[in-house]
Homo-oligomer: A and B are copies of this chain.
């Protein structure tokens, strides 16, 4: 369809175009691509999340605009796209996890959480009176009995896109430059990768999304969700990780 024909269908959330597309959802995906990248890599024991956290001003406090989020226990999330929308989606995930904990006295599973978030996101694409969320989400975590750590842990990584469709990945990236990051991951991924390899892989993929030759420690956020819980790397750990991954800015 040409531009003026397309305009007839792309300004209302609730209508299909003649070729069966929902343009508003596609534009919300564009909003995700307008953000900086986040990467997720599932290793044998846990999931590593890494985010391009460069800030436009040195006056911004490091980590001020969070892209990686502690959701609940051994569950974390990474967001890309329209920042305020991403925060709302993460808030939904947190409330949902808390509800589950209060009701059943156990943590929510990674997949149930991802699909609950996806349902919430889908509703914004069909119900009147709202627009889609302009944010994508990676949900990472480890399933298994939290009260009996060590038994049956299983790391999992899900993506929820602005259409409200969940999908499970070995490793993936969303946001600006995600294509380059995914190419890197497809080339290098090994399902049996250990914690260190997963971190290197994630940071290598993240480096593929930028023009510079690498990151300073304050330019990235890195977190790990494994049997011990969800944990962010501090500045020192980030520096070592960038060195090990060979993507520390010179």
By a beta-carbon cutoff of 8 Å, the part of chain A in contact with chain B is 3, 5-24, 27-34, 57-61, 64-65, 81-85, 87-88, 91, 115, 118-119, 121-122, 124-134, 163-172, 182, 185-186, 189
| Inter-chain contact B19/A30, CB cutoff 8 Å | yes
Q: Which chain B residue has the least Cβ–Cβ distance from A3? A: B5
Partner of A84, one of B9, B23, B118, B182: B118
Select A87's contact among B10, B115, B132, beta carbons within 8 Å.
Answer: B115
Known: A58-B186, A122-B85, A165-B65. Contact between A132 and B16, CB under 8 A? yes
Min CB distance, A243 to chain B, in Å? 26
Tell me the nearest residue of chain B to A158, going by C-beta.
Answer: B64
CA distance A157 to B95 in the complex (A): 26
* A63 closest partner in B (C-beta): B168
Give every chain B residue within 8 A of A164 (Cβ-Cβ): 84, 87
B11 touches A57 (CB 8 A): no
A100 to chain B, nearest CB (A): 17
**Residues of chain B contacted by A12 (CB below 8 angstroms):** 11, 15
- Oligomeric state, in copies: 7
Closest Cβ neighbor of A28 among chain B residues: B16
Residue in B9, B58, B128 whose beta carbon sits within 8 Å of that of A130 in the complex: B128
When distances are taken between beta carbons in the complex, the residues of chain B under 8 Å from A166 are 87
- B32, A20: Cβ atoms closer than 8 Å: yes
Q: Is the CB of A169 within 8 A of B61?
A: yes
CA distance A231 to B57 in the complex (A): 29
Per a CB cutoff under 8 Å, which of B6, B125, B128, B163 touches A129? B128
- Name the distance in Å between A51's Cβ and chain B's nearest Cβ: 15
A30 and B16 within 8 A (CB): yes
The complex places the Cα of A82 from the Cα of B154 at a distance, in Å, of 29
CB proximity of A189 to chain B, nearest CB, Å: 6
23 contacts between A and B (CB under 8 A): A9-B11, A12-B15, A13-B14, A16-B27, A16-B28, A16-B31, A16-B131, A19-B34, A20-B33, A20-B34, A20-B81, A22-B82, A22-B131, A57-B186, A59-B172, A59-B185, A59-B186, A60-B168, A83-B165, A87-B115, A88-B119, A88-B122, A91-B119
